[in-house]
Amino acid sequence: MSENKNVLMIASSLERGFVDKNVIDIAIALKNNGFEVSVISAGGKMVKELKKEGINHYLLPVNSNDFFVVRRNIKKITEIAKLNSIDLIHTFTPHSSFYGFKISKLTKIPYITSFLKIYKKTFWPFTKKRINYLSKGKLVIVPSEYMASFVQVTYKIPNDKIAIVPQWVDTDLFNSRNVSAERIISTASDFRIPEDHFIITTVGKLQKDRGQSLLINAVAQLPKEIRERIRCVIVGSFKEHKRYKTELENLAVKLGVEDMIHIAGETSDIPALLMLSDVYVATNIEPKASMVTMLEAESLGRPIIASNVGSTPEYVLNDTTCKTFDPKNINELIDAIVWSLKITEEERAEISQKLSTNVRLNFAKNTIPQKIVNIYKYMLGLK
Amino acid sequence: MKTLFVTSELFPYNKTGGLGDVCAWLPRALKKAGIDIRYIMPAFPSILQQFTELTPVYKFENKFKAKEINIYKGTIKGNPIKFYLVEAPELFLRAGNQYSDVCGNPWGDNYLRYACFSWVAAQFAEGKIDDWTPDVIHANDWMCGLVPIYLEILRRKNPKIKTSSVITIHNLAFQGVYPFSIYEDLDIPNYMFNEDGLEFYRQVSFLKGGISFADKITTVSPTYASEIQTNEFGCGLQGTLVKRREVLTGILNGVDYSIWNPETDKNIKENYNQNTVAQGKKANKEYLQSKLGILKNAKVPLFGILSRLAEQKGIDILIDSIPAILMNNVQLVVMGTDQGNYLPRLKNIAKQYPDQFAIVDFDEDFSHQLIAGCDILINPARFEPCGLTQMFAMRYGTVPFTRRTGGLADSIIDANFQNTIVNHTATGFLFDNYSVHDFIYGINRILNTYKNEKKIWDRIIKQAMNQNFSWDKSAAEYIDLYNTQLNLIK
């Protein structure tokens, strides 16, 4: 790049989760393309990744709702933008987009947003307004056609202000060759997964709209001889929904499948857990924006069973490697599980090859963030 | 795997349209990929004269009003594929082309000629001819539409026959429809004349018969495969195609890059590749401008059309748009054979805009110069099953502008914001509605990019030149279809 361009990314936090990881990966891709990158966030575990890459990070409580803190933040961010001669601001959440909007108004620096989540309808005017700031960027980046239609209809964003950039996966980290046998054995023992069982895995926060209860019900309705062959591992944080975890456990007991269902908290080694799995299941009842864990499972070559809501169909490959089901029809999920059990070794190898190749071609970390760099170049007149 | 490829046309011997091209190049690619593929063709004079030696392999007597039907085997120099020729002098040895006499009138007994040809092709399934039993008989268009029917008749008589049939629809508009009175000459049981068979509004449709009985149906692009299931594009067969959608697939045709390659093309003024495209195109453009007698100016955008001048190709909206297009200080050249009395109107326009507009008759060599010299190639088709010129154009760094239909939609990535700015994948421009308004709007989009967005324009050219529409790619899909979908073992 002939001219140095300075960009500022504002994230609520850099703690965990796919939005925070997005910020890190984009910042690194921008840096590698010759941009001067500054990031503002309320901090978190991932800040060190920015520092490792030599990217400026400013710690500000941008996740606070306190009026005085917000006022102070606006002032400080304006100073940072001026100090670094920022040409473009990029925000990722309602909170950070509020700042993007305000700073843009004060400094005339354009801002763009990444609209990565579906925010629940709310009657609180304050929250509603905050979410709306996400839609007010000069350009809105969404992760799927489904999300593009969603923001177009819900927030009246014109088509030519929307860019679609799919989510991505670190294909080195989620590469079956790079997950050692020791890690897999250790994870199997952590989860007390017996050998010679068919492992069904689902990963995601334990909450009702993720549909974990649907999976338990489906397992319970499988014929006995099939049921005894399988173990179902449900992994996800339940800090926010402790009661729901108990509900799921009670449901398993009530249906007599408590021995087959294993509900666990988070795991530090998702690649090893996915390698242990014979099939990955995504049971979302309502559309969810994040497809990351499903892509990670695909990257490791695991067959997929996923509810056909939201963006899912855009992230699965075809009927031979993945089965989608209507979450309102449990029989479709049962049929899909039976399908996965019938996959032969040869078919599994072929599925694995197809899925991992598809992820490497269309959802890899080393190519997709470059599309966001392309957007920056366009916004800054570099094209 | 053994495949018998059934066709009535073959480039360069007796081609009347795109069918001849496809039938020339697809079998070569299949052969290259390891398929034991052989042609079967009627022994038309234009085909017969290509052979120096033919060996008789089988004979039928008193069928389809022919005393003798001889099957010969032979090869043509330079063609790696073996041929079977169906010789029945009463039916095939005539002046004119394969469908019509020298005056262009269709032969009155075409139904009999192509029924005979299809019947003979199907007989190969019994394994008696040349001791060679194909696993697949691959028929093309209505002329071979009865192959799946005759094969089905044989299979019902002899369940040991394992040969499968594939029919490829190159253009649904041509169906081979005949009055019911000819039915008894076809030697097909009456129970097959019904709405799930050959019947088409009380007439006999060869193509419908083929569609109804083939084990697999293919068309020449995925979008066309979807379109022909609709009222707009189904030509009356949409109901049948919807019923058979489970076995219907679209596979995009390919391009022979040994002929269509700007690096080696002997017909163009200056050869070029991706690195030298700017200067190469400039030289070819100036040469084309001087050859056409229009103003020589490398900066003026030069649009070209290489197409039959027919209703299908959207020539009507083109003619209505020309004055508006030329107002933008651009040039336009039209090359094609008139099939709809469009020429007088085009010539009138050429008189009004001598520096900007030219019209020329189709010429194979000149068509290469046109594609190399133009900046933009237009195809406003009402429908286009596959289309080849857009693929040629892309390899020559000539940006295609077409309607989003059939193979055009499958081969061109529109230069919208997403594809141009985010993905960097755009290879051309598409418009949706078949209207003068949308067509001109598209032209304006192109001119805006051409004149104001040089970096983006260059990127589109580079991306277009990078596309790979080789026959090897199409052949791989056909082999997958033969193998996987017909459950055949190599």
Domain at B141, CATH number = 3.40.50.2000
B295 and B215 assigned to the same domain: no
Q: In this predicted complex, what is the ipTM?
A: 0.78
Which CATH architecture fits A176-362? Answer: 3-Layer(aba) Sandwich (3.40)
B128-168 pLDDT per residue, tens: 999 999 999 999 999 999 999 999 999 999 999 999 999 99
B88-117 pLDDT per residue, tens: 999 999 888 888 888 888 999 999 999 999
Cα of A383 to nearest chain B Cα, Å = 7
Cα of B456 to nearest chain A Cα, Å = 7
Eight-class DSSP state of A156: -
CB contact under 8 A, B455 and A375: no
B297 and B197 assigned to the same domain: no
Contacting A residues, span 319-378, partner chain B, CB-CB under 8 Å = 371, 374-375, 378
From first to last of its 383 residues, chain A has per-residue pLDDT tens of 446 799 999 998 998 788 899 999 999 999 999 999 999 999 999 999 999 999 999 999 998 989 999 999 999 999 999 999 999 999 999 999 999 999 999 999 999 999 998 887 777 777 777 888 999 999 999 999 999 999 999 999 998 899 999 999 999 999 999 999 999 999 888 888 887 899 999 998 888 888 999 999 999 999 988 888 899 999 988 777 778 889 999 999 999 999 899 988 877 789 999 999 999 999 999 888 778 999 999 999 999 999 999 999 999 988 889 999 999 999 999 999 999 999 999 999 999 999 999 999 999 999 999 999 999 999 998 86
B284 and B245 assigned to the same domain: no
* Residue B269 is assigned to a structural domain of this protein: no
* Residue B282 is assigned to a structural domain of this protein: yes
Cα of A366 to nearest chain B Cα, Å = 14
B26 and B118 assigned to the same domain: yes
Cα of A107 to nearest chain B Cα, Å = 26
CB contact under 8 A, A383 and B422: no
**Calpha distance B71→B121 (Å, rounded):** 10
Cα of B170 to nearest chain A Cα, Å = 27
Which CATH architecture fits A6-168+365-379? Answer: 3-Layer(aba) Sandwich (3.40)
Contacts of B209 (CB under 8 A, 6+ apart): B145, B146, B148, B149, B188, B192, B197, B198
* Residue B240 is assigned to a structural domain of this protein: yes
B189 and B292 assigned to the same domain: no
Contacts of B484 (CB under 8 A, 6+ apart): none
Residue A383 has its nearest CB partner, among B418, B423, B456, at: B456
Ranges of CATH 3.40.50.2000 domains, chain A: 6-168+365-379, 176-362
Q: What is the dihedral of CA A236, A237, A242, A244, to 10 degrees?
A: -30
Residue A375 has its nearest CB partner, among B422, B455, B456, at: B422
Instruction: Summarize the confidence of residues B159-187 as an average pLDDT.
Output: 95
* Residue B261 is assigned to a structural domain of this protein: no
For residue B173, the Cα-to-chain-centroid distance in whole angstroms is 13
Contacting A residues, span 141-160, partner chain B, CB-CB under 8 Å = 160
B208 and B174 assigned to the same domain: yes
B209 and B333 assigned to the same domain: no
If you measure CA to CA, which chain A residue comes closest to B418?
A163
Residues from chain B that touch A375, judged by Cβ atoms under 8 A, are: 421-422
**Residue bearing the bigger pLDDT, B447 or B486:** B447
* Residue B324 is assigned to a structural domain of this protein: yes
* Residue B136 is assigned to a structural domain of this protein: yes
B230 and B296 assigned to the same domain: no
B9 and B140 assigned to the same domain: yes
Q: Tokens 């959207």 map to which residue?
A: B314
Number of domain units in chain B = 2
**Calpha distance A225→A120 (Å, rounded):** 41
B309 and B355 assigned to the same domain: yes
B465 and B477 assigned to the same domain: no
Residues from chain B that touch A160, judged by Cβ atoms under 8 A, are: 417
Q: Where are the alpha helices (DSSP H) in chain A?
A: 17-32, 47-52, 67-83, 94-107, 125-134, 145-155, 181-190, 212-220, 224-227, 242-254, 270-276, 292-299, 312-315, 330-341, 345-362, 368-379
B154 and B130 assigned to the same domain: yes
* Residue B265 is assigned to a structural domain of this protein: no
Domain that holds residue B123: 2-254+472-485
DSSP characters for A218-240? HHHTS-HHHHTTEEEEEE---SS
Query: Half-sphere exposure of residue B249, counting CA atoms within 13 Å on the CB side?
Result: 19
Residue A383 has its nearest CB partner, among B418, B423, B455, at: B455
* pLDDT tier for residue B485 given thresholds of 50, 70 and 90: low
